[in-house]
Structure 1
């Protein structure tokens, strides 16, 4: 049944290939993604975009396709084989649309699969951190001249600090006494950092830091590597939208430089890895430095602090709201995640002068 359904959807696109079989790719948390194996290469990645999470799916897919075409044009000097490994490519439907909507209202898009490539769930050495920095830096560099007014804001107020504090304050009003008591130290920490954590947003709103294309989900698993661990390209561009460079830099640092898992409860194991920070930053600036203003570069370390904080704030807010947003495995899972992020932030703060 699933095979016939996927085969039928695959046939709605222009690709000149014959469906053979499929494999489900289970790495994502939101969308359904399938590797479509064809009788002959190339293979394809067929994706159903979750329209329950994303309210404007056509806008989202059009963002992805527009950015892909922009990068292809910027890299058009490369040999065809090399170009096809360094940028995502999308197949249009038979009606020349960027997506297909099935009879149940689901939206689908089709990408060319990049052979002989791999991803990393975590960073295990400085070389991967350095190459990751180069990949995400190159993405920002290649899109630095793209007109962001043409992009849909797929998740409104995603990194808006005032919005996140507003959610937090609402949670304080409705939280149970038990959860408020448990969260006292973390709540005090959030209140204490409020002014510092608004600096980047204020600079963005004043226009001192410009809006640009940002990926907004720069964990290392969204970077594609060759078999010899060299960076190829950025993938999973569902959240591409207008933002500031510090969002992408900071979120990558948040996920790469934690010495423990995001929900590790032994906080003695949680610290900020400056070796990975230095390696990532070196690769990142090698690729994007010429596209950045002196002010953007100056505030990159604060981007790391801000993105770690905003994730801790969101986990704490969800804990106070009785866990309505993030999936949890036990009653205090979100609280443990929040404490983990705040410990990481404290570790970074101790080393802040060093990384500046």
Structure 2
């Protein structure tokens, strides 16, 4: 829980009225930053703010991180304001500034804080089989990318270098495999061979970037379902949150990661692989929602590699789980000895299913794109 002295300093830096302060509650979703809701009595209503302490052990340069977030949220907030939407204040996160106009504050205990507007009448979902909800998820991510399609991504810092550089991740895997520091390679020979078999697939996106066949745009880089705020009543998507990994990249990463995390019918660490099923129906719903929002700014080359991105992001995630398992479980939190290996097997099982159904998935994407572009 937040230190009393830190909270007092937050109030002083942001000019919050201590006399109207009602309560603070910790939000325990999320594993990196510490997040709280602040409540203030406004007479006939309660005003809420989102307070976060940034984990500077994970995010080594929080100032650059906040520079990225401030640029993106300012740009998006102005766009939704000009759109004339009735609930425009709920359609984008906004950074609340300190009295001296900073997007963050550092307490006397050297703790790094920021404050956002609170998205009212909204909720998140950890998982869903609701096709309409997942359609709305795709639509929201597509809207985020479409609104930022004319933002100059070169203005942003690359806060986590090589985050989705799959060939780089592959080389890291090879290094750890060669060293085999925990003598675990003998327990996962099938998974190791699966990674080696897909070696030539690893640069499928980075090669497009290097050849300048796809543009560099703003990417969220963590498009899990629980990073989307939905209207509590209509289930319409409102906005994306958790913007700490916003960086320059390709929008293919965001599409792929959303499919990876959202189209698995089972849990990420399901031991029984018979329960791990890739849902074509959810893929179709998401793709249609996504392309309904982004069709006017996405390029044909990007469209033609959406399915590849879903396969690649799932493969990359599984490879990272496998690498961490071989290395002794230093990166991902685990609950038991072979937890990362179980996670890896789940991802690779999804990859195999996507590859088997790739022609079907490609047809879904092309039909949805043609519909939005009014092609016949």
Q: What TM-score comes out, normalization by structure 2 length?
A: 0.91
Q: Does 2:174 match 1:169? A: yes
Contact 2:6 2:109 (8 Å CA) reproduced: no
Report the Cα distance in structure 1 between the residues aligned to 2:210 and 2:177, rounded to whole angstroms.
Answer: 27
- Aligned residue for 2:108? 103
Q: What count of residue pairs does the alignment treat as equivalent? A: 356
- Aligned residue for 1:237? 243
Report the Cα distance in structure 1 between the residues aligned to 2:78 and 2:29, rounded to whole angstroms.
Answer: 29
- Aligned residue for 2:27? 25
Match of 2:339 among 309, 326, 333: 333
Report the Cα distance in structure 1 between the residues aligned to 2:66 and 2:120, rounded to whole angstroms.
Answer: 23
Q: Give the stretch that moved more between structures: 166-175 or 69-78.
A: 69-78
Match of 1:150 among 147, 151, 155: 155
| Structural mapping, 1:232-311, within 5 Å | 232-311=238-317
Report the Cα distance in structure 2 between the residues aligned to 1:110 and 1:191, rounded to whole angstroms.
Answer: 45
Query: What value does the CA root-mean-square deviation take over the aligned residues?
Result: 1.5
CA deviation digits over 1:50-83, x for unaligned, max 9? 1111111011111111111111222222447511
Alpha-carbon shift at residue 207 of structure 1 (Å): 1.2
Q: Does 2:144 match 1:139? A: yes
CA deviation digits over 1:26-62, x for unaligned, max 9? 1111001101111123300001111111111011111
- Aligned residue for 1:197? 202
Report the Cα distance in structure 2 between the residues aligned to 1:257 and 1:249, rounded to whole angstroms.
Answer: 12
Report the Cα distance in structure 1 between the residues aligned to 2:129 and 2:8, rounded to whole angstroms.
Answer: 38
Contact 1:100 1:109 (8 Å CA) reproduced: yes
Report the Cα distance in structure 2 between the residues aligned to 1:43 and 1:21, rounded to whole angstroms.
Answer: 10
Report the Cα distance in structure 2 between the residues aligned to 1:336 and 1:229, rounded to whole angstroms.
Answer: 33
Q: What TM-score comes out, normalization by structure 1 length?
A: 0.96
- Aligned residue for 2:37? 35
| Structure 1: gaps (5+ residues) | none
Report the Cα distance in structure 2 between the residues aligned to 1:64 and 1:207, rounded to whole angstroms.
Answer: 26
Report the Cα distance in structure 1 between the residues aligned to 2:61 and 2:271, rounded to whole angstroms.
Answer: 37
Report the Cα distance in structure 1 between the residues aligned to 2:359 and 2:8, rounded to whole angstroms.
Answer: 56
CA deviation digits over 1:224-246, x for unaligned, max 9? 00012111111111110011011
Report the Cα distance in structure 1 between the residues aligned to 2:302 and 2:322, rounded to whole angstroms.
Answer: 29
Contact 1:14 1:91 (8 Å CA) reproduced: no
| Structure 2: gaps (5+ residues) | 363-376
Contact 1:137 1:284 (8 Å CA) reproduced: yes
